[in-house]
Each structure stands twice: as C-alpha cells, then as structure tokens.
Amino acid sequence: MGSRENSSCSKALETWDLETLDSSSRDSASHLEEQWRKFSPVLNEEDSTDIVLEDSRELLSLTSPPPGREIIRYEVSVNRRNIEDICLGCGSLQVYTQHPLFEGGICASCKDNFLETLFLYDEDGHQSYCTICCSGDTLFICESPDCTRCYCFECVDILVGPGTSERINAMACWVCFLCLPFARSGLLQRRRQWRHQLKAFYDLEGASPLEMYKTVSAWKRQPMRVLSLFGNIDKELKSLGFLESGSRTEEGRLKYLDDVTNVVRRDVERWGPFDLVYGSTQPLGYSCDHCPGWYMFQFHRILQYARPHPGSQQPFFWIFVDNLLLSEDDQVTAARFFQTEAVTLQDVRGRVLQNAVRVWSNIPGLKSKHSALTPKEEQSLEGHVRTRAKVAAQKTDALVKNCLLPLREYFKYFSQNPLPLYK
Ligand SMILES: [Zn+2]
Ligand SMILES: [Zn+2]
Ligand SMILES: [Zn+2]
C-alpha cells in the first residue's frame, strides 16, 4: 500500500464497534477475530485486507539498552518494565501520564505534542501526524473509509514488531490498530473505551476552555444538520462529503438564512435540531444596512436557540467567521460572548498573504493549527484588509473548509467522492 495516498480500498470493510468490543469478554473478541479472518478471503486478491500480528513473545538478544525508541521493546521484553511506565512517543522513562489511545505512558513534551496535533488534518482529509507519537515524516494511512488516522514507520516497527512497516507497505489495503477488530498487535494494545479516554485526556490536559465532545464511533455517526447564516456553506459541506449532492433523502440537510431579523426561538426549534451552526460577517465589498457587529450579535442570538439543552452529550458545533470587518471593540465583545478567543486563518501562497479571516468556534483543533500572530503579521494583516479586492471573499471558502475537517470524527460523511485537494 502507499503512504499518504488515498487508494480505493474495498468499501466492503464492515464497521466494528470497537469500544463495545474492547470492553467485551475475551471470548467474543476472539470470536470476532475469527469472523474477521473468515471475512478477509471473501475479498478478491487486490482488495484483500491483511492483518499485522506480531509475536510479542520475541525477545531481544541485547545485553545493553539500544539507542532511541528501540528502548521501548528492550525495557518491556528484557527488563520486564510495564509499558505504562515508558513514553510511547519517545521512549523516555519520565512518564507524565498515560497515552489516551494505546496502553503505554506519555512524557510531558509528547503530551503537549499530542494535544497540538490531536485534530490536525491534512487537505487529503487524513490526520497530519502519527496517531501514536504525533510526529513522523512518512505515514501509513488507515484505509478504512471511516477512519482518518495515520501511523509512522518507526512506531509500527518498534511497537508492533520489526519489519512491520515493510509488511504494511506490501499490502493492497491496510486498516489501522484502532480499526482492527482485536485490540492487540505486538506491544501495541488499544485502550478500552479509547474515545472516552481521549475526551478525558483532552479535557484534563488541553488548554482550551471549551470542553471537547467525545468522538463518535463510525457506525453511530449520523448525517449532519446544519444551520447556515449570512453565508451559505452548502458547497463546502458537499465537497467535504458531509452533505450529499442532489440527495433528497434524510442524508444530512442544510437550512440557509441570509436575514434573521424576524427569526425567533420557536422558528429555530421548528427547523432544528442542528449539529452545526455557521455564521459570518458580510462578505467584503458587499454593501448592506447592518454594521459588522450586527452579524456577530445576531449569530450569537440564533446560536442560543439552536443549542441542545444544557448537559446534553450530543456533539454540537458552531463557527463564526469574520471577514476581518469587526472592529477591535467588537472582537473583544465577541470573545466574551463566545467564551473563546478568535483564531486568525491565513491563506499564504508563496509568502504572499492571499486572504485571511478571524474565526471563533468550538470545533477542536483550530488553535493548534493557527497560532497567535506576531505583531508584524498583525500589521501586514491590517494592510491587507485595506487593500483586499472584492474577489478575495470567495477564497474564504477554502479557509473555512479546512476548519470543518475535524467534524469527520463526529458525523457521517459520504466518501464515495474522495476529498479533492483544495486549490
Ligand atoms: Zn515522550
Ligand atoms: Zn509514530
Ligand atoms: Zn483506522
């Protein structure tokens, strides 16, 4: 299989409820493993899904600890050290806490790395870094249609077993350690209830004041119901696969409103429920009777009507995009109303700033991808606002689209149309 390539892998892969599986008895796990093996030969040669299982009993014949992360295998196999006491990311024995996805420790700096990269996606719709160590240059992509995870060569060779990367490379189709029906591959043991662990980890260690929703198992994901205010993101949602083009069925829906002056709570409740509320200030160069702040206040008002009742565990997301029109005072007010700081997204090509927007949102991952601007960048942004052409407004789409990628962890998407690369 290729790395960082979206090959058309068999869509026949069943979706497994791994969380239930992890917490189920040993018997049913081995029953499913058997089922899995039975299932595999049904696929034709090209589409076959192989399984990497490494004999973890293999012992290293080393007398002194090997360098780098190889130490993980050595410490576990030779010194009989508990893997929870070793950082899976770097092999350090200075463990800060437990890795949320796999049995093993994580050191303070790898923990920071993990939080930074947790919801970072590349434009191909897959995560940007290795799911285990949060780095890695060349990554294997999980080819289960419902999974977005990647793994680096080093992690699989060290934790699953030597030569694993070669074996995966030779496979026509590979599914990852969070998607396989059984929990252990070599030293790599998926945690029980890993989605729950991930949420707990993020809520405890993450810097964001907003709580993270627990990610949703693929088989439980529902099509997204979207309320789009002032700007219509129908096109973006379709190209990301969250809405199906031309579908008249219940496969996701979008309600678009360009004016909400007369909209009251009853209306929103009648149209809803919604999973995502999108809103923006008017596109640049678009003349209207309202000041930019009006859009922000109206968005906030409608957002309150659309929110699920307090304490609801149902994932609910919102995003407000400012086309750099809000005054400084408005921005301060917005941060207070939305209870989070804005993130500035920039489209920079060949060092030239093409476009930028400010975004307030509870979609995870935004902050880590777009760190705070330096004063110089702020200045150049201000200049940009003054000189920006009307046409730039249309380019906002690509910036906004990127923000929506983490929602793949929560909602159904229609992957028969592979994600296009943004131009
Ligand atoms: Zn580490
Ligand atoms: Zn890795
Ligand atoms: Zn996977």
The position carrying tokens 């009251």 is 264
Ligand 1 centroid – CA 113 distance (Å): 9
236's CB contacts (< 8 A; 6+ apart) are 397, 400, 401, 404
The position carrying tokens 């407000």 is 320
Q: Which residue has the higher pLDDT, 317 or 42?
A: 317
Ligand 1 centroid – CA 192 distance (Å): 22
CA atoms of 68 and 77, how far apart (whole Å): 16
Ligand 1 centroid – CA 348 distance (Å): 32
Least confident of 26-35, 324-333, 363-372: 26-35
CA atoms of 148 and 221, how far apart (whole Å): 14
Q: Relative to the alpha carbon of 134, which ligand is closest?
A: 2
Q: Tell me: pLDDT of 299 over 90.
A: yes
Task: Say which CATH topology domain 221-409 has.
Answer: Rossmann fold (3.40.50)
Q: Tell me: pLDDT of 272 over 60.
A: yes
Q: Tell me: pLDDT of 213 over 80.
A: yes
Q: Which residue has the higher pLDDT, 137 or 350?
A: 137
Secondary element (H or E) of residue 320: strand 317-322
Percentage of the chain beyond pLDDT 70 is: 71
With 0-12 / 13-18 / 19 or more C-beta atoms within 10 angstroms meaning exposed / middle / buried, residue 272 is middle
320 in Cβ contact with 338 (< 8 Å): yes
Least confident of 55-59, 121-125, 290-294, 357-361: 55-59
The whole-number pLDDT of residue 373 equals: 64
The whole-number pLDDT of residue 347 equals: 74
Q: Relative to the alpha carbon of 158, which ligand is closest?
A: 2
At 62-112, the pLDDT tens digits run 566 677 888 999 999 899 999 999 999 999 999 999 999 999 999 999 999
pLDDT band (50, 70, 90) for residue 383 = low
The whole-number pLDDT of residue 365 equals: 80
Ligand 3 centroid – CA 174 distance (Å): 9
Ligand 3 centroid – CA 179 distance (Å): 4
With b for 16 or more beta-carbon neighbours within 10 A and e for fewer, the 88-115 pattern comes to bbbbbeebebbbbbbbbbbbeebbebbb
Ligand 3 centroid – CA 145 distance (Å): 8
**Surrounding residues of ion ligand 2, Cβ less than 5 A:** 130, 132-133, 136, 152, 155
Q: Is the peptide bond before 283 cis (omega within 30 degrees of 0)?
A: no
Ligand 3 centroid – CA 140 distance (Å): 10
Q: Relative to the alpha carbon of 108, which ligand is closest?
A: 1
317 in Cβ contact with 363 (< 8 Å): yes
DSSP 160: I
Q: Tell me: pLDDT of 360 over 60.
A: yes
Ligand 1 centroid – CA 262 distance (Å): 54
Ligand 3 centroid – CA 144 distance (Å): 6
Q: Relative to the alpha carbon of 160, which ligand is closest?
A: 2
Least confident of 67-71, 160-164, 383-387: 383-387
124 in Cβ contact with 101 (< 8 Å): no
The whole-number pLDDT of residue 399 equals: 79
CA atoms of 343 and 366, how far apart (whole Å): 7
199 in Cβ contact with 168 (< 8 Å): no
CA atoms of 390 and 379, how far apart (whole Å): 20
| Residue 388 structure tokens | 């920006």
CA atoms of 398 and 356, how far apart (whole Å): 11
The whole-number pLDDT of residue 386 equals: 53
CA atoms of 219 and 14, how far apart (whole Å): 9
Cα torsion angle, 22, 28, 31, 36, sign = negative
Ligand 1 centroid – CA 89 distance (Å): 5
194 in Cβ contact with 202 (< 8 Å): no
Ligand 2 centroid – CA 171 distance (Å): 19
CA atoms of 242 and 307, how far apart (whole Å): 20
Ligand 3 centroid – CA 333 distance (Å): 41
At 218-242, the pLDDT tens digits run 889 999 999 999 988 888 888 888 8
The whole-number pLDDT of residue 6 equals: 34
Closest CA to 168 of 145, 137, 142: 142
The whole-number pLDDT of residue 208 equals: 74
Ligand 3 centroid – CA 89 distance (Å): 19
Whole-prediction pTM: 0.76
At 388-416, the pLDDT tens digits run 544 455 556 777 888 898 999 999 887 65
Least confident of 117-126, 148-157, 184-193: 117-126
363 in Cβ contact with 411 (< 8 Å): no
**Surrounding residues of ion ligand 3, Cβ less than 5 A:** 142, 144, 147, 149, 176, 179
Q: How many CA atoms lie within 13 A of 200 on its CB side?
A: 11
Ligand 1 centroid – CA 87 distance (Å): 5
Q: Relative to the alpha carbon of 102, which ligand is closest?
A: 2
- By residue count, the chain amounts to 423
Q: Which residue has the higher pLDDT, 145 or 411?
A: 411
How does the average pLDDT of the chain come out, rounded?
79
328's CB contacts (< 8 A; 6+ apart) are none
Q: Tell me: pLDDT of 2 over 80.
A: no
pLDDT band (50, 70, 90) for residue 247 = low
User: Of 163-177, 336-350, 373-387, which has the strongest mean pLDDT?
Assistant: 163-177
Domain ranges of the chain: 18-205, 221-409
The whole-number pLDDT of residue 296 equals: 93
